[in-house]
């Protein structure tokens, strides 16, 4: 998809301009119910009329055809791909038959010196787990081919309407995903780069092509950026994020980048043990395949990530009985293989702890105070 976009940023999301609005989204491919202007609309299992990614594409094209040319528009598309159950369109179900998940980085590495949840998978992974994650990887790619079609059709439609050069297009995702990293077969929910970092590509007025900017952008920045593009005075809006329009198009806006940011997650578990994995006990969830658990009640953490010209560090605290801490230097250890909490100057740990406390308690403008 990168050929249709002209800017790549490092961390996060979906748009066009503002006033008329269409929003559709679901996490199923067939047999779902939509709310259409407040009215229930049920769909079945016919590819031609019900496959959700294509339905979103077709309704978006109609939205563009029917819009009033005098008004700006905002179009947000949330296809189910590549979420489970990974149901590809019929014409794509045999694609990528020889593809496997990449075996590089932290793939099938031991979760040494990490939170207990990362220490519980079998290492090396059994063949059954490898087959499962490779199958999931292929199916996810297959579902994304319909998203490729969506992007191509919408870009061509905007071009035919002579609106392409007037429109900002954001392409992103809602979360990262792992397939075998630290012997965790498939899921998200972890504090590492493979789960928290998502693609973000943007093209539009004032953005020079073929740039890759390294300053971090967060999903909470999407709303203020869209409002900024629409001409809203951001000082009147109480949001934690900040516009990144100045990064993309410095000729249009002045602004600063953030040197650090917050990452946090509240773990989920079941009060009773999983019937298929009774020996693991209660408090865990997502225990598949092969009884590897991807989440737990105490998989609850908060991290501060420092990313500037001098440092690329991550400091994380767990809300568990151990008060477990993980620290990584991503400059020397981009795959976060070594927890260096015992090697770091205590003064640095204290400074990052205080920064984390500040980020967890901030609201609105105070979240953008980068001192």
Closest CA to 171 of 196, 188, 151, 153: 151
How many other C-beta atoms lie within 10 A of the C-beta of residue 358? 16
- The tens-digit pLDDT sequence of the chain (371 residues) is 222 333 334 333 222 333 444 445 448 999 999 999 999 999 999 999 999 999 999 999 999 999 998 899 999 999 999 999 999 999 999 999 999 999 999 999 999 999 999 999 999 999 999 999 999 999 999 999 999 999 999 999 999 999 999 999 999 998 999 999 999 999 999 999 999 999 999 999 999 999 999 889 999 999 999 999 999 999 999 999 999 999 999 999 998 899 999 999 999 999 999 998 998 899 999 999 999 999 999 999 999 999 988 899 999 999 999 999 999 999 999 999 999 999 999 999 999 999 999 999 999 999 988 76
pLDDT at 368: 87
How many other C-beta atoms lie within 10 A of the C-beta of residue 178? 22
Report the distance separating Cα 28 and Cα 95, nearest Å.
21
Tokens found for residue 137: 């990887």
Who's near 4: CB < 8 A, 6+ residues apart?
Answer: 151, 152, 155, 169, 203
Tokens found for residue 100: 């496997």
Token pair 């890759």: residue? 212
pLDDT at 7: 38
pLDDT at 14: 29
Who's near 332: CB < 8 A, 6+ residues apart?
Answer: none
Residue 170: strand pairing partners? 202
How many other C-beta atoms lie within 10 A of the C-beta of residue 6? 17
pLDDT at 279: 86
Q: Which segments of 93-126 does DSSP mark as H helices, in order?
A: 116-119
pTM: 0.90
* Domains of the chain in sequence order: 2-361 (3.40.720.10)
Cβ–Cβ under 8 Å, residues 182 and 121: yes
Residue 157 burial by Cβ neighbours in a 10 Å radius (0-12, 13-18, 19+): middle
Tokens found for residue 88: 């590809």
Report the distance separating Cα 170 and Cα 8, nearest Å.
10
Report the distance separating Cα 309 and Cα 259, nearest Å.
9
How many other C-beta atoms lie within 10 A of the C-beta of residue 21? 10
Helix (H, G, I), strand (E, B) or coil at 317: strand
């Amino acid at each position: 998809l990168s050929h249709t976009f002209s800017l790549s940023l490092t961390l996060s999301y979906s748009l066009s301009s503002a006033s008329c609005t269409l929003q559709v989204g679901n996490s199923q491919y067939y047999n779902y119910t939509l709310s259409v202007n407040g009215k229930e609309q049920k769909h079945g299992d016919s590819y031609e009329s019900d496959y959700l990614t294509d339905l979103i594409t077709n309704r978006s094209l109609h939205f563009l055809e029917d819009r009033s040319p005098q008004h700006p528009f905002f179009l947000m598309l949330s296809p189910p791909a590549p979420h489970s159950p990974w149901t590809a369109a019929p014409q794509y179900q045999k694609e990528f038959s020889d593809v496997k998940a990449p075996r590089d980085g932290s793939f099938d590495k031991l979760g040494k010196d990490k939170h207990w949840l990362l220490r519980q998978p079998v290492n090396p992974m059994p063949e059954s787990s490898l087959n499962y994650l490779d199958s999931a990887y292929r199916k996810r790619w297959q579902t994304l081919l319909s998203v490729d079609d969506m992007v191509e059709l919408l870009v061509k439609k905007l071009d035919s309407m002579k609106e392409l050069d007037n429109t900002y297009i954001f392409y992103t995702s809602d979360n990262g995903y792992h397939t075998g990293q630290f012997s965790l077969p498939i899921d998200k929910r972890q504090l590492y780069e493979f789960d928290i970092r998502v693609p973000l590509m943007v093209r539009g007025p004032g953005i020079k092509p073929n740039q890759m900017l390294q300053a971090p952008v967060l999903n909470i920045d999407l709303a203020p950026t869209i409002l900024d593009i629409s001409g809203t005075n951001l000082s009147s809006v109480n949001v934690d994020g900040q516009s990144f329009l100045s990064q993309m198009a410095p000729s249009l806006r002045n602004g600063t980048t953030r040197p650090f940011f917050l990452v946090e997650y509240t773990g989920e578990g079941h009060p009773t043990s999983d019937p298929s994995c009774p020996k693991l006990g209660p408090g865990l969830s997502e225990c598949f395949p092969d009884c590897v658990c991807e989440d737990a009640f105490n998989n609850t953490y908060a991290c501060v990530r420092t990313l500037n010209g001098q440092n690329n560090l991550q400091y994380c605290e767990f809300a568990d009985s151990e008060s477990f801490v993980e620290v990584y230097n991503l400059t020397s250890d981009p795959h976060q293989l070594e927890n260096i909490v015992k090697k770091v100057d205590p003064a640095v740990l204290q400074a990052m702890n205080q920064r984390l406390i500040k980020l967890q308690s901030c609201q609105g403008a105070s979240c953008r105070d980068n001192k």
